[in-house]
Amino acid sequence: MRKAVIALADSRAPLAIPAAAPLAGRALADTRGRTPHDLRISVTDRCNFRCRYCMPREVFDASYSFLPHEEILSFEEIVPVAAAFCALGTRKIRLTGGEPLLRRNLDRLVGMLRQALPAIDLTLTTNGSALKAHAKALRAAGLDRVTVSLDSLDEATFRAMNDADFPVAKVLEGIEAASAAGLGPIKVNMVVKRGVNDHQVVDMARHFRGSGHIVRYIEFMDVGSTNGWRMDDVVPSAQIVQLVSAQFPLAAVEPGYTGEVAERWRYLDGRGEIGVISSVTQAFCATCTRARLSTDGQVFTCLFAQRGYDLKSLLRRGAADDALAEAVTGIWQRRADRYSEIRTAETARARKVEMSFIGG
């Protein structure tokens, strides 16, 4: 049953890469006029946590078959794909997973991307478990910032949610090490699930207020097919803002750029800001500018996708840079995704690619 439920992208043939239409001097845009501002690159499908909203242990157990080494894109294959996206308008790259710091020598990839794309905004999302050990090397290689996933400051709640018996203190040490290395301001992501950690929303705000770090509250989403998502478990972002503002008054902040997914709120006393990501209750499909490169070299144009476009085959056939750019152009021009705008109980149950494979 487990294998049938989550057979990921390799259970179906990848989508055929569509032919590209001439850009004729115009910016690359999809069918809704959205540009490819952000590229998220998953460097591994493995993680040392078993968070229930992402990689529940009963599915990703000791017998689960992760991708073999030969199926994973090498650093030398990742860089030209990133360069193709950047040539077509991408301005921000985020390294994800799985847990990206499980990928050996990740600082080498950071350095390669920085050398090839010196102006790119280069960031990383991590669970923080190995951040203390790697922060200096990542910064020295050219990483700009990190985002750390931390779903609770309460020890029992956090250990239960990560299901790996990992302590809060180690993640906090990683955050401080990253800050000391110059990888800030650090964003701290908290996935909020009703009845699990929603009573700790204000505690998280209180802890990081005035620290220079930014807490971002994320609605529990129906990513993949294994996390047991129910609408009843979603705490609306508007409620989260109300909870925090009742203790620490807030005012809305304008987005930093078109397509920024987090709605920003600043503390009226000037002690920083928070963000909320409202993919369920306030869909932002209309301004979504994200593409995702999976661990095995498929491009996905939506977090809730069922299939991707295979670029690895092109890479391993020795495709030139212009062929990669043409492939990316064709993929993006065809993009019409608006999953969160049309979400229903039926679509929520549909088999989708797991977040640990596609990158969050």
Question: What is the average pLDDT value for the chain, to the nearest integer?
Answer: 90
pLDDT digits (tens, 9 = 90+) for 272-311: 999 999 888 887 788 999 999 999 999 999 887 888 999 9
Instruction: Return d(Cα 26, Cα 170) in angstroms, integer.
Output: 48
Closest CA to 209 of 250, 180, 169, 242: 250
Question: In a 10 Å sphere around its CB, with 0-12 CB exposed, 13-18 middle and 19+ buried, how is residue 246 labelled?
Answer: exposed
Percent of the chain with pLDDT over 70: 91
Q: Report d(CA 350, CA 355) in Å as an integer.
A: 14
Tens of pLDDT, residue by residue over 215-250, are 999 998 766 666 666 778 899 999 999 999 999 999
Q: Residue 187: pLDDT band by 50, 70, 90 thresholds?
A: very high
Under DSSP, the state recorded for 194 is: T
**CA trace torsion 255, 207, 359, 97 (10° rounding):** 140
User: For the segment 142-158, what is each residue's pLDDT rounded down to a tens digit?
Assistant: 999 999 999 999 999 99
Pairwise CA distance, residues 186 & 175, whole Å: 7
Angle at the Cα of 48 from the Cα atoms of 45 and 53, rounded to 5 degrees: 75
**Rounded Cα gap, residues 88 and 193, in angstroms:** 37
Would you state the pLDDT for residue 306? Answer: 83
**Domains, in order of start, for the chain:** 2-358 (3.20.20.70)
Closest CA to 240 of 228, 248, 232: 248
> Quick one: pLDDT band at residue 4, thresholds 50, 70, 90?
very low
